[in-house]
A and B are shown apart, each in its own frame.
Chain A
């Protein structure tokens, strides 16, 4: 919804990093969140950004460029347990501040 797009799949190697991209075309952008969802479980909140730039939260970092309608979630020092779906969610002030989710990127971390 609201043009929130993510790649379907991403593969990386344990101990390295992975960058999960998200683009959006929301006219009333009012914040972007990232969620992690493991198989058979509900989404879990990771990070929220509303200002441009990089927000470092340790294992997870997020970047936002509002002018480009682009964000990424960066996972460093990957562990096998980081394998999960990562969902990008954009809030739109022009739609009752509703949150629109992307379809998620399935990250597989290999040994």
Chain B
């Protein structure tokens, strides 16, 4: 069991460029969560899917962020027109029953 896989581990983009982050949940887990973490804001919920269906995206900045889960083996988080304030560690987690979340190593995004 490889755990939750996130790629890339590090990404540097220029202001205004697009960034796509990938997550492969643990096989058999029905729920996938996206968070971002900064020193200032702490761990912020973005969105989550259950059985590939979007359940709650109330944490997503509406204009430039989008997330999809086209199949049970991966989810993507896309940020359009990235801004310096988007710089953060983006964490993906998966779970069977939502009481225990298994986190991936995160993608460290730096927007210059």
A positions within 8 Å CB-CB of B:
1, 31, 33, 35, 41-45, 48, 50, 87, 89, 91, 95-104
Q: A44-B103, A45-B101, A91-B99 are in contact. Are A101 and B56 (CB under 8 A)?
A: no
B104 within 8 Å of A (CB atoms): yes
**C-alpha gap A44/B3 in the complex (Å):** 12
**C-alpha gap A102/B101 in the complex (Å):** 15
Q: How large is the interface on B (under 10, 10 to 19, 20 to 34, 35 or more residues)?
A: 10 to 19
**C-alpha gap A89/B42 in the complex (Å):** 12
B positions within 8 Å CB-CB of A:
33, 35, 42-43, 45, 48, 55-56, 58, 91, 98-106
Sorted nearest first, the 5 A-B pairs with minimum C-beta distance are A42-B103, A103-B42, A96-B56, A101-B43, A48-B99
